[in-house]
Chains A and B, each alone.
Chain A
């Protein structure tokens, strides 16, 4: 089973440290929630984990291989969905052109993802015409279509209504039940409680807690996590 390993990872911008000396190993299974107050570095940590940015110091590896490589083995979804100026179907097809799937396999994969995301009736519409929730479902389906082992989600449900959130959480659960693992940054504690198996709590660029979600929510170990859960941070 692939494992994510961060070794003494630090990242700063213009001399200001945004993430400081983060080390952990996480087996690739279940839902791993990255929690922390605004500005703690959750999105930055996800970007480092995916390898889209390089740490100033330290190493990020997936199963011993640098995170900078093999990015198509992971799916990445942004807080605000990035929509290609194409139809929904063509958006879903795009990553398959990168992995050079044959036409028949592409069609099957697209149909499967349209069904999973409940977007089949909108398949031939311009993706730009989708609502926020629909666009985010399409973005998740597009990330899943290459059958990645890991899905990285950066606050995927912020600004979405409860119905859209429910559909997205169902997509996440289906992916995990099929053996995938998820890293999700969120500041929605209710969502983290519903989904997370493991919590990584960061504050001011430092990883303060890393462990089972049940334990974190029942008995947070650090004063910062206690203050965060009680709404004081």
Chain B
């Protein structure tokens, strides 16, 4: 049987080792996306609609964070969590929690920037109407996030995709420990170097399938959202 055949068999038979790796990947990346979104969506909206001191500085910093190399993020989180670091006492280095932290930092600027991009034009459209009703700042924030929900969700999916495909940060802070912190990307890197190509390829197939699913969802949600946008 060829390597491709063996890889396909691993996927189709839902091989236990493969499923464990896929499961951990999804758990880590979904949690990181959720945590990053809790902060990035309100902050991205606030940066789009409110004028306050240092707003432009925050915009520049958050945009610059999108270009952060994952290995640098991994290194910073490593230094924070290592025994000599300020959070060393918690003992979470080389655990899924550390991986979630690293991925959250990587996703945060992406979700923030995409939320801000989605809210900016909507706020321009709505401003006069919401002013005419004297809508409170909190209600305005909720209204804009809800009405930009399709664009915001596509931003979340983009962040999730980025987290799932990331390897540099999670390998540093997770340590790639078999059965504990080994996710799809780090397993592919390791198994390829060991010459165990069928498992690497099987994980590649799963990763690619998830990426295609995410992009299909982004496309579908965007199309659906456009039905609610006024044509100009």
Interface residues of A (CB under 8 A from B): 50, 52, 71-72, 76, 78, 82-86, 94-95, 98, 126-129
Contact = CB atoms under 8 A, between A and B. Distances in A.
A78 B129 contact: yes
Contacts of A94: 143
Given A52-B131, A84-B129, A128-B227, 7 more contacts: A52-B132, A78-B128, A78-B132, A82-B125, A82-B128, A83-B230, A128-B230
B118 to A, nearest CB: 11
Contacts of B135: 98
Contacts of A72: 133-134
Contacts of B147: 84-86
B231 A128 contact: yes
Contact of B227 (A76, A98, A126): A126
A83 B227 CA distance: 12
Interface string B124-156: 011011011111000100010001100000000
Interface centre among A85, A86, A98 (most CB of B within 10 A): A85
A82 B229 contact: no
Interface of B: 122, 125-126, 128-129, 131-135, 139, 143, 147-148, 225, 227-231
28 contacts: A50-B132, A52-B128, A52-B131, A52-B132, A71-B134, A72-B134, A76-B132, A78-B129, A82-B125, A82-B126, A82-B129, A83-B230, A84-B129, A84-B147, A85-B122, A85-B147, A85-B228, A85-B229, A86-B147, A86-B228, A126-B227, A126-B228, A127-B228, A128-B227, A128-B228, A128-B229, A128-B230, A128-B231
Contacts of B148: 85
A127 to B, nearest CB: 8
A98 B139 CA distance: 8
Contacts of B132: 50, 52, 71, 76, 78
A78 B147 CA distance: 20
Contacts of A85: 122, 147-148, 225, 228-229
A95 B228 CA distance: 19
A121 B225 CA distance: 22
B133 A98 contact: yes
A87 B122 CA distance: 16
A126 B223 CA distance: 13
Contacts of B230: 83, 128
Contacts of B225: 85
B170 to A, nearest CB: 37
B125 to A, nearest CB: 7
A12 B125 CA distance: 24
Nearest to B134: A71
Contacts of B139: 98
Contacts of B125: 82
A78 B129 CA distance: 8
B205 to A, nearest CB: 38
Contacts of B129: 78, 82, 84
A211 B160 CA distance: 64
Interface centre among B147, B225, B231 (most CB of A within 10 A): B147
Given A50-B132, A71-B133, A84 B231 contact: no
Contacts of A83: 230
B115 to A, nearest CB: 15
Contacts of A84: 126, 129, 143, 147
Interface centre among B122, B129, B229 (most CB of A within 10 A): B129
A71 B136 CA distance: 12
B141 to A, nearest CB: 14
B156 to A, nearest CB: 18
